[in-house]
Structure 1
Amino acid sequence: MKIFLWIVIFLGTFSTMEFMAWFTHKYVMHGFLWKLHQDHHKKDHDSWFERNDFFFIFYAVVSMSCFYLGSETSFWYGYPLGFGILAYGIAYFVVHDIFIHQRFKLLRNANNWYAKGVRRAHKMHHKHLGKDHGECFGMLVVPFKYFKK
């Protein structure tokens, strides 16, 4: 029974993280913490590291905190929560940083239906260089209109 709950919590956390990413992106990154996200929309630096990467670090710390709580307290569901956040972070990193922005030169030839839709949606998001008038703030789940030809 505990393994079933573990899996449900893990999958629920992973799924919830897409909403968290959308919410954080729309209301925090394009809101009061725009200064940290701005260099992701307008390259005004020569560094590989962006201030925007602090958001990734924030969620990594949340995930590690869940692991710590799971190991040091009776908060056993810290493990599936932490692994759900970690798994989403890995998926986000692969799709956003590797596939879309090519921060590492991998997955350059991915050209299936899903890859094209996600790439189109992100391209529409980045057409706006300022914090206002943005669209498509999700990452793994984007509106169906971006999958149409």
Structure 2
Amino acid sequence: MIDTVLHYLVPTLLVLGTVVFMEWFAAWSHEHIMHGWGWGWHKSHHEPHDEGLEENDLYAVVFGVFAISLFWVGASFWPVWWIAVGISIYGVLYFFFHDGLVHQRWPFKYLPRKGYLKRVYQAHRLHHAVEGRDGCVSFGFVYAEPVDSLVKKLQDNKRGFDQNALKEDDQRSAAE
């Protein structure tokens, strides 16, 4: 009985723990790498463009190669395989929330009107409300601080931000 429980519990905890860790790591790397020494690739994400792909997508390739490598190692050491599953699940969540919901890189448009999805959407819009790499807020992709807290952080920021961004979103949402 205990062997059966552990057989399912340990992989489940490895996957869930990895997904939670990845949100922390993604937020940390977004703030300290992508908005730091890695700005060369990430800058394309903060500038208007018409192309379907952007240089910033290279970060997804790097994380994908890392996950694939862990699957390869995990073929010999099973805990690493479950960690690779967790990273892959996080990649799907990132694609859904960031590329799809926030940046509308899907073939259809959806603007959340309330609840958690609206908060994630607005938090990332506030991330983009500052020009350039300095002074941004909300670096996570799945977790989003309350919008009021982020607005206060932006207001405390000397560079300020475009306060009309959230109003435009609310007006578009009401019109639909």
Superposition TM-score, scaled by structure 1 size: 0.90
Tell me the matched-pair count: 145
Find the aligned partners of 2:111 and 2:25 in 1 and give their Cα distance: 29
Matched, 1:112 2:114: yes
Q: Which residue of 1 aligns with 2:56?
A: 52
Q: Which residue of 2 aligns with 1:32?
A: 37
Find the aligned partners of 1:98 and 1:137 in 2 and give their Cα distance: 17
Find the aligned partners of 2:72 and 2:13 in 1 and give their Cα distance: 20
Q: Which residue of 2 aligns with 1:125?
A: 127
Report the Cα offset of residue 63 of structure 1.
1.0
Match of 2:59, as an amino acid?
A: F
Q: Which residue of 2 aligns with 1:16?
A: 21
Superposition TM-score, scaled by structure 2 size: 0.77
Structure having the higher Rg? 2
Find the aligned partners of 2:122 and 2:104 in 1 and give their Cα distance: 15
Percent sequence identity over aligned pairs: 32
Assess, with a 3 A threshold, how the Cα gap between structure 1 residues 85 and 60 changes in structure 2: closer, same or farther: same
Within 5 Å, give how 1:60-79 maps onto structure 2.
60-71=64-75, 73=76, 75-79=77-81
Report the Cα offset of residue 107 of structure 1.
5.5
Report the Cα offset of residue 106 of structure 1.
3.4
Find the aligned partners of 1:146 and 1:60 in 2 and give their Cα distance: 34
8 Å CA contact retained: 1:99, 1:108: yes
Report the Cα offset of residue 116 of structure 1.
1.1
8 Å CA contact retained: 2:122, 2:147: no
Aligned-residue RMSD, C-alpha: 1.8
Specify every segment of 5 or more residues in structure 2 that has no aligned partner in the other structure, as ranges: 1-5, 150-169, 171-176
